[in-house]
Chain A
Amino acid sequence: MAISLQKGGNVNLSKEAPGLKKIVIGLGWDPRATDGSAFDLDGSAYLLKADGKVRADSDFIFYNNLKSTDGSVTHSGDNTTGGGDGDDEKVLVDLTMVPAEIDKIAVCVTIHQAEERKQNFGQVGKAYMRCLNGDGNAEIARFDLSEDGSVETAMIFGEIYRAGAEWKFKAIGQGFKGGLGPLARSFGVNA
């Protein structure tokens, strides 16, 4: 059963779904119906050490680096318009393959060229980010970006993190000033 998470809330994935192996982060939005530049939302994930930084740039998973070297995190590829049914972009995390030195995986969403295109999440129709159990696709957490992050252009959606031998998910829902580049740099990526 899906747990509705509030900002800052967390869920013990290993307890909620014993034997949980995979997590799917889904990002979806409606294509722009009005005239003007398309809304292009990008999902990204960061494999982070205990200090909150990546080991190397290859730990930054996004549309130009679809798979981590260890194979634990995979990005479904770039959707530049929001067209199509269901989640428009997906990030898959195989918990069993995450290297021991990785303490957490941050999952984020940014609007491509938000500043140039003068866009924010509030302008995008039905934008959301959600976290699913990779086995059976039960929804664990969901953020309505259009409503809750309306004036933001980048957001740290949540973190999948280790708590001893278990995995937890924390819903962060925190806006971030700047685009994908600055966000990646904040995690130690030399982008």
Chain B
Amino acid sequence: MTPLLKGQRLPLANILSDSRCQIDMAVTGHAADFSCFALDAADKLVDESYMTFFNQPASPCGGIQFSQVNAISSFSFNLNVLPATIHRLVIAMSIDGEGNMQAIQSGTVVLKDHASYAFSKADFENEKAVMLAELYRKDSQWRLMIVGQGFNGGLDALVQHFGGEVAAAEPATVADNAANEQRISLEKRVEKEAPQLINLVKKATTSLEKVGLGSHKAKVCLVLDISGSMGGLYKSGAVQKFAEKILALGCKFDDDGEIDVFLFGKNVHQPVAMGLQNCQAFVQQAIHTYPLEGDTRYGLAMEAVRKFYVPANNGQAATQVSPANLPVYVMFVTDGSTSDQSFTEKQLKWASFEPIFWQFMGIGKGRKSKSKKLLSFASSDFPFLEKLDELQGRCIDNASYFSVAAPDELSDDELYDLLMSEYPEWIKLAKSRGILI
């Protein structure tokens, strides 16, 4: 093994017995992603399909392959099959999430069986994405060079460096890829920890992508009515199933894969996080902790939700916007009317200045039902919710409402489509009024 220094060049012709070689990368101290960019003679990315990383593990020509075994990431190259337009293959490392190269301890780049480069945080400053090494053509032979330079601006800056005229478009691609990466890693977690949710997450994804919210981020909150009349739905497991559907939505919106669940009846209880690991019997356990109660108070629950997400307003009257980066999507589930109507109206008006969107779902019969059979009923179990949906005196329309005969009346696709029927519009309004930044 020849030790290599930053800046050092190594002609490969005398080292490799054929056109194949493998480069292994590892880093300790902080998670990082490795990618390989194929550049043309002008040092520009030949095209997006030639950015090889775990979510796109092979180049179209097959000459670049990514693999990962435990802590070691590897690129395998077959240099002979690369298109002649490719002059340079840059192996980059980007720090996952927050932090920069100062968050790592040490790392290695190894040209398998031949040479290695060891680095540590002392070799870097505040770069968030670095070029570790590159293979390049020189006088029609390939050489390896240790680069060890990068950008504080992370992958975006790196791609811009490779991008030229596509500079404006490329960062978006990288952002999408980053979102994809996040999604992939969450999907991996779902697969491992809660495989029953995989299909739901996929369906939620489809509905979100339809309305352009494929990489949207939001906190997801589920508010569940625990009034006595809900007993049957809890017992049958219908509420549990519904909660899982909302958790799947939360997995899409929220990278931590958790949703906050509030239970309310006569009282309202501090939220419990429902996540991939505790989702299986979550509702049953929650109901065990907080048995069904004898009243239904929407307003009380809304006040608690507001206090939790917008502590500055403390659930009190609000007449000015509370700007925030991250919106809160509240799924509010009830099977009856509330006993604190005027307080509820006030809460919804005040909340209209806050970055919270309220999606109400009534379980029973109502005019806003997707089911035609139920639509034909003249009476509704939810006249108040219907009124709430159209409530005047709000900063912006911050609520949507629909009813179902049963929590599982709608197919998953229909449910997710319905959950996204007014939310995208609210995001636009909230942005225009400075509620969302």
Residues of chain A touching chain B, judged by Cβ–Cβ distance below 8 Å, are: 32-36, 118-124, 146-147, 150-151
Instruction: Decide if B5 touches A151 in the complex (CB within 8 Å).
Output: yes
Interface membership of B390, Cβ < 8 A:
no
Least distance between B81 CB and chain A CB atoms (Å): 26
Most B Cβ at <10 Å: residue of A122, A124, A151: A122
Instruction: Decide if B7 touches A151 in the complex (CB within 8 Å).
Output: yes
Closest chain B residue, CB of each to CB of A123: B7
CA distance A121 to B145 in the complex (A): 12
Interface membership of B148, Cβ < 8 A:
yes
Least distance between B179 CB and chain A CB atoms (Å): 25
Instruction: Decide if A35 touches B150 in the complex (CB within 8 Å).
Output: yes
Least distance between A153 CB and chain B CB atoms (Å): 10
CA distance A36 to B9 in the complex (A): 21
Instruction: Decide if B6 touches A122 in the complex (CB within 8 Å).
Output: yes
Question: Of B8, B123, B126, B127, which one neighbours A118 at CB under 8 angstroms?
Answer: B123
Closest chain A residue, CB of each to CB of B146: A122
Question: Of A123, A146, A147, which one neighbours B149 at CB under 8 angstroms?
Answer: A123
Q: What's the interface size class on B, roughly?
A: 20 to 34
Instruction: Decide if A123 touches B6 in the complex (CB within 8 Å).
Output: yes
Instruction: Decide if A151 touches B8 in the complex (CB within 8 Å).
Output: yes
Residues of chain B touching chain A, judged by Cβ–Cβ distance below 8 Å, are: 5-9, 123, 125-127, 131, 138, 145-153, 157, 161
Determine the chain A residues whose CB is within 8 A of the CB of B148 once the complex forms.
123
Closest chain A residue, CB of each to CB of B153: A35
Instruction: Decide if A35 touches B6 in the complex (CB within 8 Å).
Output: no
- B interface: dominant SS: mixed
CA distance A118 to B124 in the complex (A): 10
Determine the chain B residues whose CB is within 8 A of the CB of A118 once the complex forms.
6, 123
Instruction: Decide if B151 touches A147 in the complex (CB within 8 Å).
Output: no
Instruction: Decide if A34 touches B138 in the complex (CB within 8 Å).
Output: no
Instruction: Decide if B8 touches A34 in the complex (CB within 8 Å).
Output: no
Least distance between B14 CB and chain A CB atoms (Å): 15
With contact pairs A35-B127, A36-B125 given, residues A147 and B138 touching in the complex (Cβ less than 8 Å): yes
Instruction: Decide if A34 touches B9 in the complex (CB within 8 Å).
Output: no
Closest chain B residue, CB of each to CB of A147: B9
Least distance between B71 CB and chain A CB atoms (Å): 26
Instruction: Decide if B8 touches A122 in the complex (CB within 8 Å).
Output: yes
Closest chain B residue, CB of each to CB of A37: B125
CA distance A147 to B7 in the complex (A): 9
Determine the chain B residues whose CB is within 8 A of the CB of A150 once the complex forms.
7-9, 145
Determine the chain B residues whose CB is within 8 A of the CB of A32 once the complex forms.
149
Least distance between A111 CB and chain B CB atoms (Å): 10
CA distance A37 to B418 in the complex (A): 54
Instruction: Decide if B125 touches A35 in the complex (CB within 8 Å).
Output: yes
